[in-house]
Structure 1
Amino acid sequence: MPIEEIRICGTVQGVGFRPTVYRLAKACELKGNICNDGEGVLIQASGSKTSIEKFIHRLYAECPPLAKIDRLKRTPYQGKFDYDDFVISDSITTKVKTEIAPDAATCPQCQKEVFDPLSRYYRYPFTNCTNCGPRLSIIRAIPYDRDNTSMAAFSMCPQCKQEYNDVTNRRFHAQPVACYTCGPQVWLERADGKPITAAMFSMVDDIDAVCSLLQKGEIVAIKGLSGFHIACDATNEAVVQKLRDRKRRVRKPFALMARDIKIIEKYCILNPKERELLESPAAPIVLLGIREWGLGNGNREISSQEKFPAIAKSVAPGQNTLGFMLPYTPLHHLILRRMERPIVLTSGNISDEPQCIDNNEAKTKLNKIADYFIFHNRDILNRVDDSVVRVVNDNSKGNTQSKRLLTLRRARGYAPAPLNLPPGFKKVAPILGMGGELKNTFCLLQNGRAVLSQYLGDLENAATFQAYQEALHLYLNLFEHHPKIIAIDKHPEYLSSKLGKELANANQIKLENIQHHHAHIAACMAENNIPLNTSPILGIALDGLGYGEDETIWGGEFLLVDYRQFTRLATFKPIAMIGGEKAIYQPWRNTYAHLISDFNWQELEQKYSNLEIINFLESKPLFLLNQLQQKQINSPLASSVGRLFDAVAAAIGICPEECSYEGQAAIEMEALINNKNLENCEKNQTYPFQIKNLDKIYYMDPHPMWKALLNDLQFHVGQQIIATKFHLSLANAITRIVDLLRQKYPIDRVALTGGVFQNKTLLQQTTRYLSSLGIKILTHSLIPPNDSNLSLGQIVIAAARNVKEKS
């Protein structure tokens, strides 16, 4: 009988892979063994050639739902073999090359058991199996065995141990397996420290009491799978506003959770792709279009039999979408069992700080926000935020009915699943990409794959920067990653860049400085599997800001790019950011800077004296602002399309004074657009942009756009129409400049990236227009277009340059 050694790499630990192998091996009458090690799983199998082939075929076909086989290698086995059956052996500690599975939402079988009074898992909030439950959030080392997780503190009872050791049971080697007898426990506390008695509520247990509290209008902090959340009744305007006031979160939308799809459908319109995402093991927050009656006050009648309360207006002010998710742990399912309406479920943190993960930390930081706490005693080792996604039309295929995923925040459910890099990157030395400053991630390149961290937030916040360093240390240890190169953003003041320099100097590691927008485009290329040694493509990177090669701020760039280098072909007209960073959060500064760049202010005052924006700007210290700009004091030039969006939004009256979060003005302006206005505006003339050729590159000049927009304001054209016309005009202007560039350069592919392309309308219209030219469009799907993708771009650029030096 032939004996083979079968090496399998991929997501194959903690996902029920070994029992599947065992079951199939027995069915195919093979002898041998399987074990976990640092590379994945290793199988030694003896049987007829036909039996082994059948085994391999069935292994691919019947792979567990959370598993993924990236590579399977078969070699003849020459060592000692003394197995007379097929067995599962203990894990072997070797050099780490395997993957860590993301946390996964509760599977249907576990859900059923949680609500089955005859099950020993009835109402147990930590019920899980190999098909669901915690992974990244509880792991401290590989291999993924119980001793290497926060479940090490809980010794299994005889019944759990029996299931854990039973290869025919779906809990076979499910590391977090536990029950009421031996596992973690949940309890309820008041924020003021006063005692709680069962008589205070009509409740089955402490978890059921949470539902009663939410229905009564209380605010509850919930320790979940990978961090604390704060919950309240999403239909109670007073309590939602109270939560905003306590959390100091002025207008940024709150995420929602509902018991089931039927409740979500009362408020939002779902297409099949959105439904699929909501019910997937990743269970992300999905941005959904709001039904006409879905957001408001009071009861809205939808039939003679059924009434339901509208979502409070303060849940998502200025939005036309709601971010919904379904319960993804037994705890959530149990809390919402009696809840007939959605709840707010927002991150348990003080605004801009990382989510709390420790009980004592939560008591200290959240006791002025929450009225009650639901705690448990299973430690969260790794903080992982909820992922956020939306569905967009895939216009690149010429079919608006085709839908695809656009990830806005990649975290729980997706990270840290690795990305297989395109051809050419397999034999590159290990590289660490440090990411940017906002929406930060870091990335490890090892063995031709990229491990992108979960979303970590904005490093300008001290607590977030500390959490970033802790997560980086954990990943380097988990994956035994010893970088030979560290790649950083060129911005000299980014904290991630400074830390990267310190690490490189301390460990004598080579440092690569990567331009911000080159990294954005390279990330898009890598996600779309563009080979390393490809011919240059055109990348369009539109965002808020990035440090340019000329030491100005870039943010509206057309670059001819390969993985090693780029040439800047076109940009948007640079406009001063008067006041520097203040311009990010005070949109009127951008409006004024654009207007005085294109017009004489005295003439504007005379011609448009009746416009609200002109009168608003006249109330500002214009003389001082002019001095700052003329003397170039804290007023860097920026070709930023993000700031152009802010300027237009403020001009039409959308939060002109101040934004409470980055990108608010642009997001609320996009929310004004509907399909009817898109169709109507396309039939009429849109705003013109002028394309100039200066210093051997093209400049997109918005001067004629501003003239037309101001005239529309003077003729009382509504916000919705102006917002729609601006989006269509920008997409049209981008297409015009691409058409111009392809007359000079061999352009047949265009990559769209940068935070501005989170804008669904701009992305879809630009893709549609460019596709009509016969150009292949590359966009993001699993990786966000925003600054979260910078670390991926950094490692592939550094890798390409390293390969070049070796050749």
Structure 2
Amino acid sequence: MEQMITNPQQRRWRVNVRGIVQGVGFRPFVFGLAERWGLAGFVRNDSAGVTIEIEGEERALHEFVTALQREAPPLARIEQVSIEPLALAGERAFVIAASQAQAQRRTLIAPDTATCADCLREITDPADRRYRYAFTNCTNCGPRFTIVLDVPYDRANTTMRSFPLCEQCRAEYDDPRDRRFHAQPTACPACGPQVRFARGVGSGEIGSETSDRLDPLVAAATALAQGQIVAIKGLGGYHLACAADDEAAVSRLRQRKQREARPLALMARNEAAAAQLCIIDPAAHALLTSPARPIVLMPRRPAAPVAPSVAPGMQTLGVMLPYTPLHHLLLAEYAAAVGPARVAAIVLTSGNLSDEPIAYEDDDAAQRLEPIADAFVTHNRPIHMRCDDSVARVAAGGPLLIRRSRGYAPAPITLARELPGPILACGGHLKNTFALARGREVFLSHHIGDLENLPTLRSFHEGIAHFERLFDITPEVVAYDLHPGYLATQAALAMPIERKIGVQHHHAHIAAVLAEYGHTGPVIGIAADGSGYGPDGTVWGGEVLVATCAAYERVGHLGWLVLPGGEQAVRQPWRVAAAALAQLYGPDFWRLALPFTHQLDQAAWQVLARMIERNLNSPRTSSLGRLFDAAAALAGMGQIARYEGELAILFEQIADPWQPPYPMPLREPAIAGGPFTLDGLALLAALVADLRAGIAPAAIAGRVHHGVAQALVAACRRVRDERGLTTVALSGGVFQNVLLLETLASALQADGFTVLIPRLAPPNDGGLALGQVAVAGAICSME
């Protein structure tokens, strides 16, 4: 376009900036740059991002645009900058203009972000007017996603709209040189939300405020130090808290919450307290202290001062640092209450009963949590969207997300290529997330949870509607898992969207990795998990695929195991182990001199044996997750899984990593051109021989892990030899097992393979929706 100018030294540009550029201090940053370079014009928020018009010398305009991208605020994420020349307007000043709504909205909403250093200094400074104020924030930190109702991201479109700013806060809010300029959640003790402490009264309502005159957080800290359970309203919902080192309190919390064994998360006051609990390497430290502040799984110190019931049988602890001023203040008071002899850490777990979504509305929290909590810390800032804590660990030198939620969602994952149209992906049944996508942006949702009940399904539908409104996306295609029993699948099929695309579960796992890396494929995909619907009517879960986003071929898989009783075998791994022994040694396997067979309920097994014989509810499975379950059960980890994958998780915890591998041979296809198999039964036979020889469970666990890794390397070599492929994508819930992941990745890299490990989305079913978007987009692009 020809530039319209009257002065050859002067130019005027319109600069459109797209990305996470609202609610992160971007406009005052632009204002400061304009002042630095002596430019006139304006900046404003709109429904697409930020629009800037600048006028001045051409050299200064170029410097401005360069600095715009190099020096952006810490929470900003610039996706695109476009420049359009304009006619000179003769302006003399630069201003921040009012927001402007447009017909099509393309604004990105920032995730909730941990308290910044400046705000933390203020709440700990007795001379500051925000001293000890639990809702202190600025444009560099604080709530975003959980309070936003609509876009543009202005105060009137957040749950802070019911808190008019006082004179001092208004002055900060209106001053483009202040870091609280247009910080929508900003407030102070004079005009903002307030905390209160209340005792539970057994009535299904949160009780009256405590009669003592203590500060609410002092009262809460005292209650925690005395062994009470306290429900705490946070950013994205309620938590349940108790002292981390009080076994009676932790056991009582487990009993009331009906969470028998799954590890509980901890919040440590600071890095020093976290270091009392765990060994923190640099990569874990980076995760722990990042603005997202996830729960980080780290090796526990041998003498970590935590109650045994916090993480039974685990060599790791899940620890997070405070991420709101309320948490910082509460943990400081707790440290003062317990004194230096006790660790300044509390259990902080989701405020719910097991399998329910986290409570986030006050009335609902009163109903559901009052039977669990002895007291409540509440406040009057509404939460609009529930959002659980994220969970991560370090694997192969980088982050591995176990749950992507607070601190990460709803920041988009950017694709390498444009999608042909807007897509909704409904995800899976367990660890559900959904995704809405348009252009190159995939908005992977916060953690919804296991779609096992009506409240969680309602949360799923509410979340989709909220994302559609926020990002102005009306999907033209819906992608879903092939399993007909998944509630997410049933919801997708019932939606009034004409184009529906079913995506095979394990193909979606691999496509998610391809989407993250912008890889076109084909690649060797190793998809390993507990179960997924196989098009052949069997339960898949240990798959070797050759995959692109558009298509896949199953070239190999784990040899067949049997699931006596179907889903019951997942909850009772002894069934899979016993069936495997029957496959190996015949019906008299129970005569083997093993601790497992001595403990076996022979009457129960005989019923299952008849079921298998008659092929009644005994599906075949190629699941690597079930192979680990069987190995763990045989090695003495237990017979019943109290939560998903418990025995396999405990098996990883005890494994001695310096052990030789068990054999797991690659077997040629039974039918020419069919998939090869990896003989998991041979591995279990070697395990049984070691058990009979008295080999320790830790050594057995190490040999199983190395045997599986060695077999998967052999499978990749086979595919490389036949297809010439040298890139391997790893995904599926089994790869939450860091010992297996690191052993396999290292061996593959040493053998010349390029290994793609999921970093932006979980390898488990929390990442399925991303893969479903990638597959549906690729299929539609070919039409």
Counterparts of 1:730 and 1:387, CA distance in 2: 29
Aligned to 1:482, the other structure's residue is in SS state: coil
Aligned-pair distance for 1:196?
5.3
What is the one-letter code of the residue matched to 1:275? H
Indicate yes or no: 2:605 matched with 1:605. Answer: no
Give the superposition deviation at 1:728.
0.7
Aligned equivalent of 1:161: 170
Residue 198 of structure 2 contacts residue 210 of structure 2 at CA under 8 Å; is this kept in 1?
no
**Mapping 1:792-807, distance limit 5 Å:** 792-805=770-783
Distance (Å, rounded) in 2 between the aligned partners of 1:703 and 1:437: 29
Matched, 1:491 2:487: no
Structure 2 counterpart of 1:464, from 445, 456, 462: 456
> Which secondary structure state, in structure 2, belongs to the residue aligned with residue 323 of structure 1?
strand
1:728-747 aligned at under 5 Å gives the runs: 728-747=706-725
Tell me, in whole angstroms, the C-alpha distance in 2 between the residues paired with 1:154 and 1:620. Answer: 66
User: Partner residue of 2:763?
Assistant: 785
Report the equivalent of 2:334: 339
Q: Which amino acid aligns with 1:410?
A: R
Deviation, 1:693, is: 2.0
Letter in 1 for 2:366: K
Partner of 1:420: 414
Amino acid aligned to 1:650: A
2:618 aligned with 1:635, yes or no? Answer: yes
**Equivalent runs, 1:295-334 vs 2, <5 Å:** 310-334=305-329
Partner of 1:127: 136
CA distance in 1, matches of 2:40, 2:167: 29
Alpha-carbon separation, structure 2, partners of 1:371 and 1:433: 41
* Of 142, 148, 156, the match for 1:147: 156
Percent identity, please. Answer: 42
How far apart, in 2, do the equivalents of 1:260 and 1:761 lie?
28
The answer to whether residue 499 in structure 2 is matched with residue 518 in structure 1 is no
> Which residue identity lines up with residue 414 of structure 2 in the other structure?
N
Amino acid of the structure 1 residue aligned with 2:669: N
Task: Give a deviation string over 1:405-456, Cα, whole Å, max 9, x none.
Answer: 111100000111101102xx31521111110101111111112111110111
Residue 620 of structure 1 and its aligned partner are, at CA, apart by 4.3
User: How far apart, in 2, do the equivalents of 1:388 and 1:5 lie?
Assistant: 41
1:376 has 2:379 as partner: yes
- Residue 686 of structure 1: CA displacement? 3.1
TM-score for both structures, normalised by structure 2: 0.95
Instruction: Give the 3-state SS of the residue equivalent to 2:542 in structure 1.
Output: strand
Distance 1:26 1:446 in 2: 36
Change (3 A) 1:745 1:497: same
* In 2, Cα distance between equivalents of 1:371 and 1:15: 38
- Does structure 1 retain, via aligned residues, the 8 Å contact 2:114–2:323? yes
User: In 2, are the aligned partners of 1:127 and 1:177 still within 8 Å (CA)?
Assistant: yes
Matched AA of 1:691: R
Determine the structure 2 residue equivalent to 1:388. Answer: 391
Deviation readout 1:183-234 (Å, 9 max, x if unpaired): 11111111116655554x8x4x111111111111111000011110011000
TM-score, normalised to structure 1, is 0.92
* 2:669 aligned residue: 693
Give the alignment of 1:604-623 within 5 angstroms.
Answer: 604-606=589-591, 608=592, 610-623=593-606
Q: Tell me which of 270, 273, 286 is aligned to 2:283.
A: 273
Letter in 1 for 2:684: W
CA distance in 2, matches of 1:450, 1:195: 45
Q: Which residue of 1 aligns with 2:402?
A: 408
SS in structure 1 at match of 2:95: strand
Answer whether contact 2:197 2:210 (CA < 8 A) is retained: no
Distance 1:374 1:663 in 2: 34
Aligned-partner SS, 1:671: helix
1: CA distance, partners of 2:583 / 2:144: 53
Q: Supply the distance in 1 between the matched residues of 2:622 and 2:232 (Cα, whole angstroms).
A: 43
SS at match of 2:668: strand
Residue 61 of structure 1 deviates from its aligned partner by 2.1
Specify the SS of the correspondent of 1:743. helix
Look up the equivalent residue of 1:343 and give its one-letter code. Answer: I
CA distance in 1, matches of 2:600, 2:148: 54
Matched-pair contact (CA < 8 Å) for 2:26–2:72: yes
Which amino acid is the alignment partner of residue 510 of structure 1?
R
Structure 1 residues 535 and 670 mapped into 2: Cα distance closer, same or farther (>3 Å)? closer
Which SS does the other structure have where 1:742 is aligned? helix
Question: Are 1:594 and 2:580 matched, yes or no?
Answer: yes
Alpha-carbon separation, structure 2, partners of 1:617 and 1:639: 24
Q: Distance in 1 between matches of 2:691 and 2:447?
A: 40
* Matching of residue 366 in structure 1 with residue 358 in structure 2: no
- Deviation string for 1:762-801 (max 9, x for gaps)? 0000001111210100111121000011111111111111
Question: Does structure 1 residue 103 correspond to structure 2 residue 103?
Answer: no
Aligned runs of 1:42-61 on 2, under 5 Å?
Answer: 42-61=51-70
Residues 302-321 of structure 1: per-residue CA shift (max 9 Å, x gap): xxxxxxxx111100001110
Alignment-derived partner of residue 527 in structure 1:
516
1:666 counterpart (645, 648, 663): 648
Task: Give the Cα–Cα distance (whole angstroms) in 2 for the partners of residues 189 and 82 of structure 1.
Answer: 60
Work out which of the residue numbers 421, 433, 450 in structure 1 matches 2:442.
450
Gaps of 5+ in 2: 1-9, 336-343
Aligned counterparts of 2:90 and 2:476: Cα–Cα separation in 1: 42
Matched AA of 1:666: A
Q: Return the letter of the residue paired with 2:437.
A: L
CA distance in 1, matches of 2:511, 2:409: 20
Aligned 8 A contact 2:231 2:377 in 1: yes
Cα drift, residue 502 of structure 1: 1.0
Q: Which amino acid aligns with 2:499?
A: K
Matched to 2:518, the amino acid is N
Match of 1:438 among 407, 430, 444: 430
Match of 2:533 among 537, 547, 550: 547
1:616 Cα deviation after fit: 2.1
**Letter in structure 1 aligned against 2:154:** D
Partners of 1:151 and 1:197 in 2: how far apart? 26
**How far is the alpha carbon of 1:82 from its aligned partner?**
5.6
Structure 1 residues 250-304: Cα deviation after superposition (integer angstroms, max 9, x where no partner): 110000001110011112111112112111110110111111211xxxxxxxxxx
Deviation at 1:719, TM superposition (A): 1.2
CA contact (8 A) 1:689 1:703 kept: no
> Which deviations, in whole Å up to 9, do the C-alpha atoms of 1:232-259 show, x marking residues without a partner?
0000111101111111101100000011
Q: Distance in 1 between matches of 2:176 and 2:603?
A: 72
Aligned mates of 1:790, 1:707 — CA distance in 2 = 34
Render the CA deviation track for 1:520-564: whole Å, top value 9, x for unaligned.
00001111121xxx3411101000111112121110100111111
Counterparts of 2:395 and 2:499, CA distance in 1: 40
Aligned with residue 257 of structure 1, among 255, 264, 267: 267
Take 1:427 and 1:408, find their aligned partners in 2: how far apart are those partners? 27
Residues 334-377 of structure 1: CA distance to partner in whole angstroms, max 9, x if unpaired?
A: 10113332100000001110100011111110111110001111
Shift of 1:597: 2.1
| 1:94-134 Cα deviation digits (max 9, x unpaired) | 11112110000000110110111111101110000000000
Q: Given that residues 236 and 385 in structure 2 are in contact (C-alpha distance below 8 angstroms), is that contact kept between their aligned partners in structure 1?
A: yes
Whole-angstrom CA distance in 1 between matches of 2:521 and 2:247: 56
CA contact 1:690–1:704 (8 Å) conserved in 2? no
What is the CA–CA distance in structure 2 between the aligned matches of 1:345 and 1:6, rounded to whole Å? 45
The amino acid across from 1:357 in the alignment is Y
In 2: Cα distance, 1:689 partner to 1:253 partner: 35
CA distance in 2, matches of 1:26, 1:92: 23
Matched with 1:299 is none
